[in-house]
Amino acid sequence: MSSTLITGIAELVTCDGTGPDRLGLRFGAALVVADSHVAWIGPLSAAPAADQRIDLGGRTLVPGFVDSHAHLVFAGDRSLEFAARMAGRPYDGGGIGVSVAATRGASDEELRGLVARRVAEMRSLGTTTVEIKSGYGLTVDDEVRALTIAAEFTSETTFLGAHVVPGEYVDDRASYLDLVVGPMLAAAAPHARWIDVFCEPRSPHAFTEAEARAVLVAGREAGLGIRMHGNQLGPGPGVQLAVELGAASVDHCTYLSPADVDALADARDQTVATLLPGVEFSTRSPYPDAARLLRAGVSIALATDCNPGTCYSSSMAFVIALAVREMGLTPGQALYAATAGSAKSLRRADIGRIDIGLRADFAVLDAPSSSYLAYRAGMPLASALEL
């Protein structure tokens, strides 16, 4: 078993929950990696011998970003839709059908290549763990295909057959719901860890509270963990339903009532509010007040929601900068939410922090401190450290 000593760390950000913003900062530190896990952390002066050495040359080491909400299995392009939104057209979820048609028409090889390039792009920007949803197939075969391809790149696969009601079922929603909770779920469950639903009564394309409940309960009975798209387009039932059903995460949370905030605070150990500021940026929607959520005791995470329609960005650094500028977080709070917070939303204890025994998933920042992620917004400072 080979070992690697990492030195030259200007700032080691462990996200161990201690110190300002829970970042667990260490200076003058080094660490040893063995068998893909952290084996030792301590002062450089006491560093043990190792088989090889990596000198970061005064750069910053942080946990690899955990992108806990992404839609990467898709083909096609929706740039015209984006341009129309920037000109004032509101978003209601209808464009998803465009991606469904393009994805259904793509070959397995094409989709696999597209996902591979997107995951490689994410690693080049510092993301070491990504959750990947289905949801652009919306037939039994196409949803299984999406999950099978996603599983080649991550263990965090999510069945999202309840993304929207596809065009062929627009006049028979009940039959599509029966398909999702019946044959589609049965075929998809062996390839997924999670189930998700777009619960948004304000959209004619998405799902009502009753429909969402049926989907999530069926998924839970099939052994899948629960995630949810909720409260994106306006106030709605998503947050309350997610908390009631014990969801690991409720994502978007753009429009929250005081009762929603209280429910999330009470469920802080169980349900994480995953915020997706790239979506607000790309849809001209109001940004949720993340600082308010933290003050209330809510557990929060940050993710990209990388998708072809409402946020075609895979940059967690961009998300962090937006959260600082538009959502009231400090740079440290945003970094913690993008690492340890997102790991919690996936119910993972082995990633999102740097500690002995945990996975050696690191990002290197070409900067002397982690605050540069927001300070030098838009710059490609972060990349996954390849060991």
Categorise residue 356: left if φ over 0, alpha if ψ from -120 to 50, beta otherwise.
beta
Strand boundaries in 47-97, DSSP class E: 52-63, 65-67
- Reported as a single tens digit per residue, the pLDDT across 262-292 is 999 999 999 999 999 999 999 999 999 999 9
Q: Which helix (H) or strand (E) holds 121?
A: helix 108-124
- Reported as a single tens digit per residue, the pLDDT across 341-376 is 999 999 999 999 999 999 999 999 999 999 999 999
- Reported as a single tens digit per residue, the pLDDT across 31-90 is 999 999 999 999 999 999 999 999 999 999 999 999 999 999 999 999 999 998 999 888
Which residue in this structure is represented by tokens 């989709």?
Answer: 111
Q: What is the pLDDT of residue 92?
A: 76
Q: What is the pLDDT of residue 216?
A: 98
State the Cα–Cα distance between residues 66 and 340, nearest whole angstrom. 8
- Reported as a single tens digit per residue, the pLDDT across 23-47 is 999 999 999 999 999 999 999 999 9
Q: Which residue would you say has higher pLDDT here, 244 or 202? A: 244
Q: What is the pLDDT of residue 278?
A: 98
Q: What is the pLDDT of residue 133?
A: 98
**The three-state (H, E, C) secondary structure of 256-321, written as one string:** CCHHHHHHHHHCCCCCEEEECHHHHHHHCCCCCCHHHHHHHCCCEEECCCEECCCECCCCHHHHHH
% of residues, the chain, pLDDT over 70:
100
Q: What is the pLDDT of residue 91?
A: 82
Query: 275 φ, ψ to 5°?
Result: -100, 140
